[in-house]
Chain A
Amino acid sequence: MIKTRKRHPRRRRRMAIAALTAAVGCIGVLSISPAGAAAAEAPLCGGSLELNNEIPGIEPPGGLSYKFNCNAQVLGYSIISNRQVDYFSTEVLVLDATGTATSESFACEGTFPSSGFGCRGTSNFGNVIGGEFAILRDPCLKAKSKSDKFKVWVSATVQQFDSVTGKPFNAVTQPFRLKAPVCKTNNTGKKARR
């Protein structure tokens, strides 16, 4: 006899929304890659956050600097946070690996307050993209629970090359988490647990 479990209507609704959002997201991601493109090696990206109380016009706390790079040409990226973002720098500069300015930059747009923002521009292989944003809550406030911990992800649109034809195509990286900022005021040397 097959046992059927009765699901709560709210839980069913949540599951349906999650499934629908996942489906739409997957369609969006897949549609960027050309049909039949041979799988290229997934690009690697990484970056970190730093507290920034010196953004002109932004009263602390809440100001943050972010930087990241990828082993591919970056054409755009989204910054997503589990805290409400209420400011972002509209022009983002790109530095090379030695910290020297390049002629590349990104222009950022979005809604605030919201969960994040998006930026378009160009950054060549390995160059470092660095900008600023601010959140409503002090990033160094202690987290109420484990799930309340402050987190920021980046998902980048990168150019890749088909491993068979060598033709370029755009792909979206897996969301990667930026390393949390170090909060020196309360927990010296410890990462922020907001």
Chain B
Amino acid sequence: MKNRLRRVGLLSALALVAAAPATVPAVAVAKPTITMSGSTTVAPLAALLARKYLKVCDHCVNFKLLQGGSDIGVADVAAGRVTIGNSSRDPKPSDPGGLVFNKIAHDALCLVSNKANPIAGLDQAGVQAIFGGSVRSWSGVPGAAQTGTIDVFSRTPASGTQDAFQKIFMGSSKMFSGASQKGSNGLVEQSVASDPGGIGYVSLAFTKNVHTIPYKGVDCTLRNAKSGQYGGVRNLYMVTRGAPTGATAKWINWITHSKAASKVIATQWVPLN
């Protein structure tokens, strides 16, 4: 009887979870829950940091991690829907008032092409020509192994990566309107990895399956980002409504001040210290 009950309980719990793929039952304990939404660049870092923090603080909190893009995170935290809005872009004048952008790390933004088309390097003018749409064929790009049309992959407007790319690489130049907009770093990585004529830009943590293009003669590597040599470095933030308090303050303070957090960040991102 006990076994049957256990089986019924397990199957019914599975059925419940199967009915809503994106929702998962949380551990029902009276602990504060820190909810985060937003940047797809910050999400993998937040997941790694949360695992370490749970060990360090002896499971003092629960975490709920959602994505959606930096603008979604900023809008969610401003509306009080989440505790923290993750953002991979700097504050904008159009952001709601009362938000505090807590800087947690730096990230290298890499230009990427297909591994079958290992571009030797691009300068800012080259980036602006390709991503602005004035050069549409690989035959117009020095050192390209491809000859066909350039397939430009960009990010959706809600993306902090898009905002950072515009600021750092494009300046006042406009993005090519025919670029294929993707919703996450992973989607851009996969698109470029599966298209020999593809080019895009992703966070350094998403470069495993693609060729990283040196920018202004400097490779997009963690070492070059840490040393300050690589020019495509941006800030990552955890945005709160007002100054963080309670469990959220402890969590952000741990990220920005502890050696354990720095060690986690240094695996694929650049710690503040």
Contact = CB atoms under 8 A, between A and B. Distances in A.
Interface stretch (B97-105, B183-191, B233-241): B183-191
A9 to B, nearest CB: 14
Interface of B: 1, 5-6, 8-9, 11-27, 33, 40, 43-44, 47-48, 50-52, 54, 59, 62-67, 183-187, 189-191, 193-195, 206, 209, 264, 267-268
A78 B190 CA distance: 22
B21 A107 contact: no
B13 A25 contact: yes
A28 B190 CA distance: 32
Contacts of A80: 13-14, 17, 24
A70 to B, nearest CB: 13
Interface of A: 11, 14-15, 17-19, 21-22, 24-29, 31-32, 56-58, 76-78, 80, 84, 86-94, 100-105, 107, 109-120, 134, 147, 153, 155-157, 172-173, 175
A28 B48 contact: no
B93 to A, nearest CB: 29
Contact of B66 (A28, A109, A114): A109
A32 B267 CA distance: 41
Contact of A77 (B21, B25, B51, B65): B21
Given A21-B16, A27-B19, 17 more contacts: A21-B13, A25-B17, A28-B19, A56-B48, A58-B51, A76-B22, A78-B17, A80-B13, A89-B47, A101-B190, A107-B186, A112-B54, A115-B17, A115-B27, A172-B19, A172-B21, A173-B18
Contacts of B50: 86-87, 112
By Cβ-Cβ distance, the 10 closest A-B pairs, closest first, are A28-B19, A25-B15, A91-B186, A155-B18, A22-B12, A76-B21, A101-B193, A118-B22, A25-B16, A57-B48
Contacts of B11: 22, 175
Contact of A21 (B12, B185, B189): B12
A146 to B, nearest CB: 10
Contacts of A14: 5, 9
A76 B48 CA distance: 23
A111 B24 contact: yes
A110 B17 CA distance: 12
A57 B262 CA distance: 10
By CB atoms of chain B within 10 A, which of A19, A118, A147 has the most? Answer: A118
B44 A91 contact: yes
Given A101-B209, A107-B184, A118 B21 contact: yes
B154 to A, nearest CB: 14
A15 B13 CA distance: 13
B132 to A, nearest CB: 23
Contacts of A78: 17-18, 20-22, 24
B189 to A, nearest CB: 8
B186 A15 contact: no
A105 B186 contact: yes
A21 B195 CA distance: 45
B194 A102 contact: yes
A99 to B, nearest CB: 11
A102 B16 CA distance: 31
Given A102-B190, A104-B190, A116 B15 contact: no
B26 A103 contact: no
Contacts of B190: 93-94, 101-105
